[in-house]
Amino acid sequence: MAYSLDVTDKKILKILQQTGKITNIQLSQEIGLSPAPTLERVKKLEKNNHYIRSYHAEVNAEALGLGFTALIHVSLTRQVNNAISKFIEHIHNIPEITECYQLTGSFDYQLKIRVTDIPAFEKLIANKLSKIEEIGQMQTMVVLSRIKESKMLPLNYEV
């Protein structure tokens, strides 16, 4: 049986998206419940990774020297199951690819790349991406600046 979200559950989700390190006591104070029922609600939201999949730190990539971001649109040479699964397997094994989306339209996939600089990006293209036989075409866009990057999902948290 599916767990249905109420206003309190949505408040919990909003707060946890803003600050995953909040203690259960602090969370209970913010939502107006005692700690025991607050913890029970959080456990229900976590159950089977249904609403809450994980907790993690948002790391500053630029501070770690990964200041170069590029988006690459990829078209596969052929759209058969074997080619797609091979491509996906390759993508999972390249740590510099931080995100991959399957698309509709002119390209099949969009890759988000995080590396230190242009020479590192050139090396990634030459040594890894160009070796993936399933890739037929790539179009690269270099990110000049990030205007918005939100981890908050657009839910109506007050209803």
**One CATH from 1.10.8.100, 3.40.605.10, 3.30.70.141, 1.10.10.10 for 7-49:** 1.10.10.10
The Cα–Cα gap between 106 and 57 comes to 35
Inform me whether the pLDDT recorded for 62 exceeds 90.
yes
> pLDDT (tens digit, 9 = 90+) per residue, 71-110?
999 999 976 678 999 999 999 999 999 999 999 999 999 9
The Cα–Cα gap between 129 and 137 comes to 11
**Residue range(s) in the chain whose domain bears CATH number 3.30.70.920:** 68-142
Give the pLDDT confidence score for residue 143 in this predicted structure.
Answer: 97
Q: Considering only 13-22, 27-36, 49-58, 133-142, which range has the smallest mean pLDDT?
A: 49-58
**Residue range(s) in the chain whose domain bears CATH number 1.10.10.10:** 7-49
Percentage of the chain exceeding pLDDT 90 = 82
Evaluate whether 102 touches 68 at the Cβ level (below 8 Å).
no
Rounded mean pLDDT, 6-15: 94
CATH number for the region 68-142 comes to: 3.30.70.920
Strand order in the sheet with 109-115: 97-102, 109-115, 68-76, 135-142
Inform me whether the pLDDT recorded for 159 exceeds 80.
no
Evaluate whether 152 touches 17 at the Cβ level (below 8 Å).
yes
- Contacts of 109 by beta carbon, 8 Å cutoff, 6+ apart: 73, 74, 76, 87, 91, 100, 101, 102, 103
Give the pLDDT confidence score for residue 142 in this predicted structure.
Answer: 98
